[in-house]
Amino acid sequence: MDGMACCCSFSDCYLGCFYMQDFLWSKVTHNKKNVLFVISHPDDESMFFSPTINYLTANAYNIHILCLSTGNADGMGSIRKDELRQACAVLRVPLQQLTIVDHPNLQDGFGQVWSHDLLEEIISEEVTSHDIHTIITFDNYGVSGHCNHRGVVKFLQTNSERNIKAWELVSLNIIRKYCGPIDIWLSILSAKRHGSKVSIINEQPLKSYEAMAQHLSQWVWFRKLFVSFSSYTYTNTLQRISP
């Protein structure tokens, strides 16, 4: 294992990282196949979680996505729902495994703080309906500091008896956030130093770009640059959530 991760050539080292990744990912799922991504807005799945989604779909996991709002801050909620469905088709997430919540108390916007009790209720229903074993979501900072990129901890605290495994996407500092594929190596080193973290490498970054391109209402020049240079296009670092 360690020898594979330290091969001298780029291709060998890259392959070695995938072997290490397979080993580490077994810690995340414990061979359970039903994984739920809890996101806040349409396009979160493509901008931030696509390395993990691509990895799991390639390894026959059942991916479910719970999107907690329609992203209606600009009055385009119905359009953004359709865009999310198209992005899921690119990412090979079956539409019947996508849930988009349109609740009056879960509206998009930096000034809209969502009720943790309401989130707990919605997440609990989704976990029960689909026999979910693992949840993946944002960490407390939520990559961009958005207040609605949060909410799973309350569910874990009130449902500890279910033994649900939950992992959060680690928010990166501004330098690492925009260093693109270079962050692959930094993420691997971070995961090796911290046993509670895993690093997931994106085998198909072009698919991530294509998925984000389905969100036409959001596909403006600065988001094109973001997806091109963002570390989240190339790798995800996940950390176990301790409620």
Provide the residue type at 221 as one letter: W
Mean pLDDT by 10 residues, the chain (243 residues): 33 42 52 87 96 94 96 89 98 97 84 83 94 92 65 78 87 93 91 86 95 97 95 94 76
What is the Cα 31 distance to its own chain's centre? 19
Q: For residue 111, what pLDDT is reported? A: 67
CA nearest to 38, candidates 73, 70, 64, 59:
64
pTM of the predicted model as reported, rounded to 2 decimal places: 0.85
Q: How many residues does the chain have?
A: 243
Contact, 143 vs 169, CB < 8 A?
Answer: yes
| Kind and range of the H or E run holding 173 | none
Cα atoms in the 13 Å half-sphere on the side-chain side of 46? 32
Taking the C-alpha atoms of residue 143 and residue 150, their distance in angstroms, rounded to an integer, is 10
Please tell me the predicted confidence (pLDDT) of residue 200.
Answer: 93
